[in-house]
A and B are shown apart, each in its own frame.
Chain A
């Protein structure tokens, strides 16, 4: 368990700087062997050093190396972080050199696991940190930090407190039936509290889903019949200074071949391989082919021509995508209007060629995914699949409470599902201590002989 592990801890391909993290009792020694700066080995903890990573006297990359000694490190072990500058090839080479000098390649999440097993972090934090590792953009990393800071925890705590009041009331009714002066918990009170809980959880789920999109990117496909300006639109987006295109084959299972970052929103363009090489490929995609891609997408960008009437093909496409999230980009808006667009949704008028209103597309995407709200509000969303799956269980349990109430079951039964909800919420924030509830009873109610 105490061997020294290493891995690239930044997402590959995004940005020029990558960080390689090394953790374990031999971390300092191994890095010293391959680092040109000889002061590093004896330097104090929590210092940064400049130099080169070398391999048999060959300079591999110019780097900054952070030295952090146990226990005040992420894993509570000795940790070294190497900031490489030479892009993915150099970074991979540095990692290889580390591995050949005695490090073991870390398994996914192994740093967090060590942090977790060494008591450095709790379960919620561990998940948040895992998300942090994957964070591809500034924004997504902000969200991950939020979870660690406990904003999500506080939100869940509030929901749990509301529920504790109801549970304590039920408990006191059941355990102290002789107290006539204590209010009885009623079906209608439980119902309205469940409604409230459901609304709040729905909101968290929605925000969290959007948070996922922010973090992982929106699967996007551009459709439209030939010659409406798909390629010029794409070229415009790519050509803009604010956009970055990366082409890393097979980085995700969705065969995303281009990642486009517009104003901090990641668009993963599906199946547009080689768009820059064969300039006209997008344009040459037939309608049928485009439509096949629609099913897979989170977002469809439909391109129409402002200067033409809607054709049968256009209508066919519109009909196909009507249940999807889509934006109708009406291109060539600087020409004469011939399109009959009254019945179209989410319209943005642009001219790709003359660079008119391209920002409008980004704004529409934010509007459509409710991202504006997330951006401005506190981002108290739950950033992990585990938390979200628990929230889904909570929603199921709420349903069961309501069902039980409808069927006229007594509160000793209903309470089983209520307590389940309370426990599930507790799991998310790592609190499941039953004694709490008993404290609540005696804090809230004056009972006893």
Chain B
């Protein structure tokens, strides 16, 4: 059997990669260890959150699936930071762990050009530096023009609990035992990483009356720009908030040595995420903190598991029992699944180009947790980009590389391939230089054009997008031309704002912090959608800051636009500090801007690079 593109792994990255490739018309095979684990959510039952929620919007703007799929499987949804400003607003949803994979599988199944195969990949077929397919564990060979690796946490996965280590993937799935060895043989540097997941508790064993209820918003939201809300706003499933107790901390401290990470196991090489510390880490590192916050999140309406967010641990089962029972409302709790830590192999991401193609093997791409990230959203967006770029390459076109001022996806990929990682990489809004430009509300304005160009946004959706853009223009114009006069002072008084002596445009009036755009709609000749009103409101209210950010971004892009030829010889630049030389040789940045972001490369090195480029390439 021959394919154009093979995707290895059916998680969030794999699904996006396979869909992008197939939707672009390429014959695609998705190889997964277990078809029932397609788009599985092995950790928390939620999609979105700070920065991640914006990534989901970006995926949707580009024509990916995650946003739509999340919209189809919501248990509750809310807008985070709604009071803290437009730059940091983001959607977070609880997604049903049964519905989400089911809906994704449905979509995959009905997508043309896409086959799914249940199998494990043992090796890559590589000929003269090019990847030409895969060899399965049963030694079957499948040929393809490009391969995308999206193996998640499955390469040489070990589950760690207390002093035990078992070679298995999440939920006791079969791990991928051979692929990472094959990658090492091919010359890749691998990095062992680690992450953890908390225990799941039986719903009917919990006393929710002792907990604070956390509801979804009472206004409708969707991740997708194209779907209408599909959930019942009044029947959202709540989450609950509790705190650890002194007793909990006492149990943890008493049993610390039994935790895999604190002495239970002495062969742990994996580096765990800083932002996802186990509960024992929290208690040890923040010893003066009396209590830690925990959330109880529903996993599904089809079964009873409640996810205990904030309580991941690698303590042995008996200690976990004791710990859980020390929590308010969980005195009689029944643990359905124990917490565990998982160790796995990843590819050190500086071995990738910005297109997510590997540097040493042509037509081989990798995306998701295999690249050292963490999180469903981080994985999905990489899968989408890898799928798009593998397909574009087959089509003989340039890859889609998003800039840091265009998308969190651009920030994430640039960070990975330029800086590498120390621990599993999580997206934070702080990682973006210009987060005011990378908002939840404007993801379509930033990226839909790209989605259309690469062929993942169809004509209908593109037409709607153009209509929205036009509507924004018309509204802005209307606000700029329509004036209020002193005759309208009564109205202004009602709005508790300063009265006027001369005429004022609605546009200028809107600059006042106390004026909302909704209060001015009665003066407008046309009707506008809420998202159009919101967009224009933000543009006007935050114009000063937005301009500032845009100016800075332009400055950054000047260095981005100074390209470094791919044949540059760093060894010939004897003035370069040896650390910088080594880093530049490793990363091989494509622009001076990227070079400057490499740790160990200093402005002085950039000056030298500039002089060199000027001398040898007349740059």
Binding site for B on A (CB under 8 A): 116-119, 122-123, 171, 173-181, 404, 407-413, 416, 430, 433-435, 437-438, 441-442, 446-449
Contact = CB atoms under 8 A, between A and B. Distances in A.
B164 interface: no
Given A122-B604, A174-B50, A407-B513, A446 B85 contact: no
Interface residues of B, number: 55
Contact of B604 (A117, A434, A448): A117
B116 interface: no
Given A412-B85, A430-B602, A449-B198, A174 B429 contact: yes
B547 to A, nearest CB: 11
B450 interface: no
Contacts of B198: 449
A263 B575 CA distance: 44
Contacts of A435: 419, 599
Contacts of A177: 50, 80-81, 84
B428 interface: yes
A411 B611 contact: no
A180 B293 CA distance: 8
Which residue, B44, B87, B273, has most C-beta atoms of chain A within 10 A? Answer: B87
Which among B51, B80, B83, B599 has the highest number of chain A CB atoms within 10 Å?
B80
Contacts of A404: 545
A416 B274 CA distance: 25
B310 A411 contact: no
A122 B545 CA distance: 33
Contacts of B583: none
Contact of B282 (A122, A407, A446): A446
Interface in B278-298: 282, 285-286, 289, 291-293, 295
Contacts of B428: 171, 175, 438, 441
B436 A416 contact: yes
A377 B382 CA distance: 56
Contacts of B274: 442, 448
Interface in B194-231: 198
B276 A449 contact: yes
5 tightest A-B contacts by CB? A410-B85, A412-B85, A412-B87, A446-B286, A448-B276
A118 B573 CA distance: 11
Interface string B571-590: 00001110000000000000
A412 B434 CA distance: 11
Nearest to B273: A448
A5 B86 CA distance: 57
Contacts of B460: none
Contacts of A408: 513
Contacts of A178: 80, 293, 295
Contacts of B429: 171, 174-175
Interface in B581-619: 599, 602-605, 607-608, 611
Contacts of A449: 43-44, 198, 276, 309-310, 312
Contacts of A407: 513
A446 B289 contact: yes
Contact of B575 (A117, A411, A442): A117
A140 B139 CA distance: 78
Nearest to B294: A449
A416 B549 contact: yes
Interface of B: 43-44, 50-51, 80-81, 83-88, 198, 241, 243, 273-277, 282, 285-286, 289, 291-293, 295, 309-310, 312, 419, 428-431, 433, 435-436, 513, 542, 545, 548-549, 575-577, 599, 602-605, 607-608, 611
Given A117-B611, A175-B429, A438-B428, A446 B292 contact: yes
B158 to A, nearest CB: 21
Nearest to B615: A1
B85 A411 contact: yes
B545 A413 contact: yes
A412 B275 contact: no
A416 B548 contact: yes
A88 to B, nearest CB: 35
A287 to B, nearest CB: 52
Nearest to A171: B430
Contact of A174 (B88, B289, B309, B603): B88
Nearest to A116: B604
18 contacts: A174-B50, A174-B81, A174-B88, A174-B429, A176-B50, A180-B241, A181-B293, A407-B513, A408-B513, A410-B85, A412-B84, A412-B87, A413-B85, A413-B87, A416-B436, A446-B285, A449-B43, A449-B198
A409 B83 CA distance: 11
Nearest to B282: A446
B241 A173 contact: no
Contacts of A433: 599
A176 B576 CA distance: 41
A360 B457 CA distance: 83
A173 B50 CA distance: 10
Contacts of B576: 119
A177 B611 CA distance: 46
Given A437-B430, A447-B275, A449-B44, A173 B309 contact: no
A174 to B, nearest CB: 4
A116 B429 CA distance: 35
Contacts of B310: 448-449
A442 B549 CA distance: 26
Given A122-B604, A173-B84, A449-B312, 12 more contacts: A117-B607, A174-B81, A404-B545, A409-B513, A409-B545, A430-B602, A437-B430, A446-B285, A446-B289, A448-B274, A448-B310, A449-B309
A405 B273 CA distance: 35
Given A117-B604, A411-B84, A448 B542 contact: no
A407 B545 CA distance: 13
Nearest to A174: B88
Contact of A413 (B275, B419, B542, B603): B542
A360 B141 CA distance: 97
Contact of A119 (B277, B431, B548, B577): B577
Contacts of B608: 117
Contacts of B607: 116-117
A119 B601 CA distance: 12
B245 to A, nearest CB: 14
A414 B480 CA distance: 27
B545 A416 contact: yes
Nearest to B241: A180
B84 A123 contact: no
Contacts of B289: 446
A181 B282 CA distance: 14
A118 B611 CA distance: 12
Contacts of B80: 177-178
A410 B513 CA distance: 11
B168 to A, nearest CB: 22
Nearest to A114: B575
B85 A175 contact: no
Nearest to B608: A117
A198 B422 CA distance: 36
Contacts of A441: 428, 430
A123 B603 CA distance: 8
A176 B310 CA distance: 13
